Every structure is written in C-alpha cells, then in structure tokens.
Chain A
C-alpha cells in the first residue's frame, strides 16, 4: 500500500483497525508427558516456534486444564472455544488425545492519544464467530490428513519423532496460507461449487472418464473440474471436499493459464507434431521432454473400506478443464505411463474443454443476461455440499474477496448459528444498520442467505423479493417458501 495515503487516512480518521490474526497454533497429546517435568513431551508442534519453552508448556497446560474442567459439566462435549478480551482459543480433538489449539487475536481498534501517550486499544471481542474459526481448525486437520494420513498413522510408522517431523513440515507452510481476516460463512460450509452443465455434455465427460480409466487401468479414481468448479468426483464426498479445497485455493491459483500467455512465453504449450493439445501436468513433471524430468506426484490419503488408502495425485489440465487421476501409491509411476497419459488424455481433454466452453456460452446466451442474479446470495446444500455465492469474487491463493461489508458477513454467520441450533425449517429476516436487509432461509438440508440493498423496502416487500429469487434461481429444487 502507498504509505502517503495511509498516513493521510490515519491522521484523518485518527484510528487504526486491525483484523483478526493468528497468535499461536499448537498440537499436543497429554498422554505423552503425564509426569511432572516431562510436560514438554506433550507438545508435538508449536507455532510460533521461537516462543520460550516454559511459556509453551504453560499455554498447553492451560488448554488442558480448561478442557478437563469443562468435561466435568459434559463429559462428551468439552469446551470448543475460550473467549477472552484479547483473543479467542479454539480446541479440537481430531483423534483420541490429540488436541489442536488455535489462538486468534480479536480484531481491535487503535486510538491514538494526545501528548505522546501510548494509544488506547479497543478489542472487539464479539466480532469473530466460533463456527467460522472452529471450521478453520478442522480444515487444518483435514488438510494435514489429506497429505499425511492420520496422526495415528505417523505414530505407528515412526513414533513421536516422525509425527513431529511431519507436523513441522506440513504446518510450517500451511499456516502461512491461512488468511484469518477473510474467513467467513463459506469456511463453515466447506462446500463445493459445481459447474452447471447440460446433460449431454455431462454424459460426454462421463464417457471420457470411463474410457481413460479403462485404458489406463492403474487409475483408481478420477475427478473432473472446469473453471475451478467440480463436475465429477469418483472420490467419496468428504475426501472430495478437502481435495477440492486444496485444488481451488492452493494448486490452481499457483498455475497461471499458459493458454493466455503470449506467443513467445515459455509457458506456451508445445506443438508436438501435428497433434495440438493444451494438456499439461499441474503435479509431477512440468515438461515431459526434459530428460531430467522427475515423475513424482504428491500423495494423498483417502478413506477406504479398511481405513485409508494412499494415492498418487496426478492433476492434468487442458485450458479450463482439469482432471485429477488417482493411482495407488504402491505403484511406481514411470515416464512411460506419463507419456501414455499425456498422449491419451491431452487431445481428448482439450476437445472436451472447448466443448464445455461452447455449451456454456450457448446456455448463457439462452438464459440471457437478465437472468443473471442481481441478488447477493449464498446457497448451501448439506446433502451434496453444493455451494453457490454471488457475494464472493474469484478465490485466489491469498485472499477471498467479498463484495459486501464484513458486518453483513457477520450477520450471515449469526443466522447460520441460529439455524444450527434447531432442526426445523426456519426463516430469519434482519434489517442491518446499514439499511441492508439480510434474509436467511433454511429448508430441510438447504440454507439460503440473501442480502438486499433496498433501503425503503418493508418486510413484506423483502419477503416477496426473496420469493422471486427462489422462483428464478431455485425453481428446480424442493425449497419451501
């Protein structure tokens, strides 16, 4: 940011706003150091690492105590979070006796004082939501598990030593990608955005997936995405959910589109012989022709009938279409295989991508721009994890941009908490301070949140407006008015 402007703004407004931020993140197991003097052994991972040992022990001990204490009230549901003036702590026990704790500093406002006195700091204790950050902690674990398997697995394989190594390696990088200031309702849902597609094109994709799996029989599962939206998953829902998160928030944003690159750009795909295709590996070898190319792919862990299975993750992309092929990790992948895959999938996927694009454009033209939603809404279906948001801009690796004020996002989160409390269908209409109307609807397993900017509208008009939205956007599902 330009420093001159920020100074000007600060002097004009006289105060400075701080968003929530990560204070610490640690993982411990109380059974690893039950005796006095061995407390350090409990700690498996601690961020930031440069904190003095005794403070680490003290913080872990405090969490342990809180959890133990709250257990006396409800043995099955110990405390999930601790609210204090300056920060908020989240506790999560993903596996027996393994605890993950995340400490988030509350957002605050710094008000400068005159006469050189230190500024007054005002903590906004109620601004952050337990559901949102509780979900973030769970996501951290799921992501670790996707690439490493369970904590228990590492323990079995190499004891505490291996586990701490793995945790260090994974979370050191992963925590840097957490952007707590932009976490919101979508993190609670952890949904999947599905690409809208006509039946025929969808069947063509099915046909493609089946053919590839048949001719390259090593492939166990396939997932297919277009425009960062899911079309097909051979994985089970929960595995797909976290893989989708990884793909759309980490892997895809790291790879810019070479098709869009200039003619002389090194990213431009090579034209091999007369066979032009845009296929390329997003994981594994960047250039198949490179004699030094390594054929190593990231490994992921997914649930299987007997626990979990370890798989190579091959992500292959042509234009906007991406196919993830998963192959048992026990198989060693060779240059031969990759070349075969490239030769088979590249041309087909390129063709399919342009087919989808064409179909998508046609559908858009038919439905017309007037059908494009003018509402700001978030939709989520717990059954298939389908999410749709017209509030969020394109997700990037660093930030998730929203087009509405954080206050409104907070209201959405609050409504969501209310919905979570009861099983019944509900509808909540809120008039926000800023003249916005916020409507939350829950019907069976579906939730819909609408933000309306109609200053002078009354309750009935708002209700009608939302009905209209449901009739146009959700007319093909059973969504009670």
Chain B
C-alpha cells in the first residue's frame, strides 16, 4: 500500500548517532541515563567507542579484556566508568572507595530505572506484579508506596507473570507514569491489547489512571514524544499515538482511543557511511520496525545491527488532514511543542475553505486559542503583581510564566492569518466580517483587551464595501472599544460618511482624556462657541490658549462671534488676574489690535 508521504506523522531524527553495529566481535550497550552508546570491541581490548547525543560527549578508549562485558556505563560527566562482567560484581576502572548509604532487603525479579526522575522500580513477589518504587534525591533513597499491577490472568500455580519488557517509566505532562503493556488474553475478557498507565505521584499512592486501547494484538513497543504515548506495532509496521490529556466524550473516563489512524514511521534512508562509501551510491532504505530494534524511553530507537540511534519525532503538519474534527485537532496541537505555525496554518485553512457551516468551527477554534492565550496573560499578570509587591513576601519566588508556542496572541493571528485573509478577493465580505467579529467576540468572552489593529481591520473591510451603517451599529454598541486612534480614524471617514463625525466626538467625550482633541475638532468645524462652551463645561477654560479660539473665530468672518469670544477671554482674564489684558507671555492673537481699532463701529452695531 502506498500512502501519500504527508501522512506519516512520525519520523526518525535526521542526524542519528552512528556507531559500529553489533557483531560477534563488537558488543553494543546503551546507557539511558547519559544517552550514550558503547561499542565494545573484543571485550575492550581493541577499543571502546562511546557516542553520546552530541559530538562532544563522544569518547574512545581501550581497556583490558577481562572477560565478556555485561554492562558498561559512565557516571554523569564521564568521570567514572563502571563495567559489569559478572552478575554480582561491578568494576570501576578508576580506583575509588564506595560507601553503603542505605540497605533494603527485598526479593527482586527485575528492576527499571528512570534517570529523569531518579526513580527505581522493583518487581517483587512471585508473580512479579507488586512493584516497589524508590526515589533518589540529594543522596538519599526513599521508599515510595508499592502498588500492584492488575494481571489479565492469575496463573496457577503462581509464577513470574510480569515481564520487564512490558513495563516502562516515563514523564508525561510533568508527571511520572508507569506504563504497563497489557497483552490480550484468550481466557480473560480482553479482545485486544491495552496500555495501562499508573500515575506515580511524588507523594501518595500510585493509581491506575489511564487505559489506552490498542484495538489489536501482537508485539508492541512504547515511546514518549512531546507528551504523546507512541505505541509501535511490529506486525503491522505502524504506530499509534495517544494523548492522555485529550478528553474523549464518547469514551468512559480516562479510556483513550488513538488520536490518529495508525501510520508507519516516515521511510528512512541510510546514507552509506564508512570509508567504502562511493559518493554516487544512493542511500539505502532502512528497514523500519525491524526485530533488531531496541526502544528506550523516552524517545530513543536503536538499531544495533545497523549501528544507528535515532530520536523519534512527531511531525505536526500531517496530523492536520488526519483529524477532521478541528476542535479536537486544536486541543491536540495546542499541547505540542512546535505547534505555532501549524496552528496558524490550520486557522488559515479553515478560513479559506469557505465551507458552509464553518463559522461554528471558526468560533470553536478561536475560543480554544484564546483560552490558552488568556491563561498565559493571567499568569503573566499575577507574576507582575507578585514582583511589584516585592520578593520578600512568600519565600518561594514565583517563576516567570513560560510562553509556549501554544500562546497565539492577536499579533500572531493578525500577521499570519487575518490580514491576508481579509485581502482575499474570492472570499465574500460577509464571511470576512463574520470571522473578524467572531474573533473579537472570542477575545471579549475571554476578557482579553482587543488590539487597535483588529478594529482597524474591521473598519477597513466595512468601509471598502460601503457598509457604513453596519459600522455605525457596531460603534453604537461599543463593540469597537473607544480609543483616541479609533476616534481619529473615524474623523478621517467623515468626508465619505458624515455621521462618523458625531461618532468620533462621542468617543472622545467618553475617553475623558481627549478634551484638547474635542476642542480642535470643534474649532476645525468653525464651531467656536461650541468649543468654548465645551471647554468651560469641563473646567478647562482658565488654562486654555485664547489664540486658537480667536483665530478660529476670525476665520468665520463673523464679527459678532469674534467679539463674543474676545469678550469671553477678557472676562476670564479679569477674573483670573484682575485685568482684561492678555498676558504678554500668552500667545496673543495678532488680530486683536485690528479689532480694538474699530470698537465704536462694532460696539454700536452690537
């Protein structure tokens, strides 16, 4: 079956760690703590090559062949090497003394260690299904409460029934889980395999918390990538992904179906390495899901036979077309690490579709984005408040909230989605306005202050289509919030839509910080008396410059008006300074001399 290439949502990392493949003379070991691969040739006599996740951590050395190496590891920072050759002894080539810190006596079948959380898990009892975790912290070891893994069948007589291979530990969404691969059993009523997740909190008891339905049987392996549980199925050569935070309405609580249909990992081609490589030789396709693969937590896949270590990665773009429910798709994407551009492209995609009935989908998507955006803004705000109130109170210094890629703010939406969307000619303006209003509604619903450029976009679209009455109604209900820039924008519309003048003045009035602007607007309309009455009503008469009023009055050519304004300022001067004269410093109008020269004529007329 050939699939379109964009459907593979999992891939192997492009720059794998390469090492000499396992052979009769070369043993390969992997240390999960340091993520180092050890290639031990002839028991170390002909060399040990250690390769880590980056080039710096690569080391090569020799050691004496003192027998078959069972396990080999470095301490953190490559300071001490430990080699295990027999089941009961570990050798540290560098001679140091060891001290026994604590001692616990338990019969153990096997153990698992999670380096990330420093928790060791011991399999105890005959059946092996009672797990005893210990946590290491600051040089101490503390016993955590033990728990039981529910086996599908209780064997009689009792025998070891829980295999080390079916248990893995990993951190998902910051919490430690023990994952149990529960194979199907013919006797028990379980038609297909499941992964059962046990939540292992730092304090308190471990609880069974999630069940992932695999809907098939066979050999499986688990990885954790970007907080997703990836289940590889060997016989079908496909993988499934599960998101334990994705709520499934049609499932019982905490039972999960795969987020996406099963797909194989993206085909991988190995460039032929080594000195024998011929430059023109094409890369060889790698056999995926090979039986020689070993899978390590959280996201490591090693092919010892080919000498490769890959990190498993999730590609988000292909998921977009695999998840039809856009709301669910958003829930999924918003929890991923590199989600921003994918989310924005999904938004664009929904908008360009122009599919009937897409507005409710648009609304859902906006609401989901703004929920995350709002949570971030709130966290940011409470952090700022905490910082301002001083770090002294509350010793635990609050951490500055991390802005993840899932925080899609108005500027992101504007730049990547809305501005280009509103310019598309083939989209009806009705839909454009509906979408913009939907976004503004969603922001308002989440109590997020809408940025001016969004209003500008709305107004621009309305004006382009002569929908002034619509604009008027939006302003009437204060959907476009008051601001000076918006008021100025309205003023500029006055020539095409005269009522914009009133709308603008109303807005300036409500702002209550724009009295100067109101005066300017009125004066520019030659409403000199109106301007004067206004400045008086807000108590700004005493400090206002007489000049611009008198200039405006003169421009009307109405002598009576000029006289009235002039007298008004004289009276003000009289009241303030005991004299009608204008201050020498005050920007005195040039023309008042002209006026004083003909008081008799003017005066008589009045």
A217 contacts partner chain B, Cβ-Cβ < 8 Å:
yes
Would A215 and B438 count as touching, CB distance under 8 A? Answer: no
B-chain residues with CB within 8 Å of residue A194 when the two chains form the complex: 476
Within 8 A of A (CB), among B338-367: 356-360, 363
Whether the Cβ atoms of A203 and B518 lie closer than 8 Å is: no
Chain A interface size band reads 20 to 34
Give Cα distance in the complex from A386 to B470, angstroms: 15
Question: Is the Cβ of A199 less than 8 Å from the Cβ of B477?
Answer: yes
* Interface residues of B, dominant DSSP: helix
Cβ A444 vs Cβ B438 within 8 A: no
B502 near A203 (CB under 8 angstroms)? no
Closest CB of chain B to A212's CB: distance in Å?
9
Indicate whether A215 sits within 8 Å of B356 (C-beta atoms), given known contacts A477-B509, A478-B508: yes
Out of B363, B472, B537, which one reaches A480, CB within 8 Å? Answer: B537
Tell me the smallest distance from the CB of B69 to a CB of chain A, in Å: 68
Q: Is the CB of A480 within 8 A of B533?
A: yes
Does A246 count as interface, using CB distance less than 8 angstroms?
Answer: no
Selected interface stretch from B79-87, B212-220, B440-448: B440-448
Provide 16 A-B residue pairs closer than 8 Å at the C-beta atoms, listed in order of the A residue. Answer: A199-B479, A202-B479, A203-B441, A204-B441, A210-B430, A210-B438, A213-B430, A231-B477, A236-B469, A237-B469, A381-B502, A383-B499, A384-B473, A477-B506, A478-B506, A480-B537
For B498-511 the 0/1 string (1 means CB < 8 A from A) is 01001101101110
Measuring CB to CB, which residues of chain A are less than 8 angstroms from any residue of chain B?
194, 197, 199-200, 202-204, 206-207, 210-211, 213-215, 217, 231-234, 236-237, 381, 383-384, 386, 425, 444-445, 476-478, 480-481
Q: What is the CB-to-nearest-CB distance from A472 to chain B, in angstroms, rounded to a whole number?
A: 15
**Is there a chain A Cβ closer than 8 Å to B437's Cβ?**
yes
Cβ-defined contact, A207 with B509, below 8 A: no
Interface check B151, CB cutoff 8 A:
no
B56 CB-CB contact with A under 8 Å: no
Instruction: Tell me the nearest residue of chain A to B527, going by C-beta.
Output: A425
Assuming the contacts A199-B478, A202-B477, A478-B505, asked whether A210 and B445 have C-beta atoms less than 8 A apart, the reply is no
Which of A203, A217, A384 is the one whose CB lies under 8 Å from B499?
A384
Q: A197-B477, A199-B444, A236-B469 are in contact. Are A476 and B506 (CB under 8 A)?
A: yes
By a CB distance below 8 angstroms, the chain A residues around B438 are: 207, 210
User: Would you call B271 an interface residue if the criterion is a C-beta within 8 Å of the partner chain's C-beta atoms?
Assistant: no
Assuming the contacts A204-B441, A217-B356, A481-B537, asked whether A384 and B508 have C-beta atoms less than 8 A apart, the reply is no
Question: What is the bound-complex CA distance between A233 and B518, given in angstroms?
Answer: 30
Once the chains bind, are B441 and A206 in contact (CB under 8 Å)? Answer: yes
Q: How far, in Å, is B473 (CB) from chain A's closest CB?
A: 6
Query: How many angstroms from the CA of A231 to the CA of B434 in the assembled complex?
Result: 17
Output the residue of A214, A237, A476, A481 with the most chain B CB within 10 A: A214
**Which residue of chain A is the closest to B357 with respect to CB atoms?**
A215
The reply to whether A384 and B437 contact each other, CB–CB distance below 8 Å, is: no
Q: Which residues of B contact A (CB under 8 A)?
A: 356-360, 363, 430-431, 433-434, 437-438, 440-441, 444-445, 469-470, 472-473, 476-479, 499, 502-503, 505-506, 508-510, 518, 527, 530, 533-534, 537
Q: Which residues of A contact B476 (CB under 8 A)?
A: 194, 384, 386
**Min C-beta distance of A1 to chain B, whole Å:** 43
Which residue on B lies nearest to A446, using beta carbons? Answer: B502
Complex Cα gap A236–B465 (Å): 13
> Known contacts A207-B359, A210-B433; can you find 14 more A-B pairs with CB under 8 A?
A197-B477, A203-B441, A206-B479, A211-B359, A211-B360, A213-B430, A214-B358, A214-B359, A215-B357, A231-B477, A384-B499, A445-B502, A477-B506, A480-B530
Docked pose: A207 CA to B441 CA in angstroms: 8
Known: A199-B444, A203-B440. A214 touches B431 (CB 8 A): yes
Contact check, B469 vs A480: say whether CB atoms are below 8 A apart.
no
Measured CA separation A247–B523 after assembly (Å): 42
Whether A200 touches B508, Cβ cut-off 8 Å, given contacts A206-B437, A383-B499, is no
Contacts of B509 in A (CB 8 A): 476-478
Cβ contact of A207, chosen from B356, B363, B431, B502, cutoff 8 A: B363
Taking the closest CB of chain B, its distance from the CB of A267, in whole angstroms, is 32
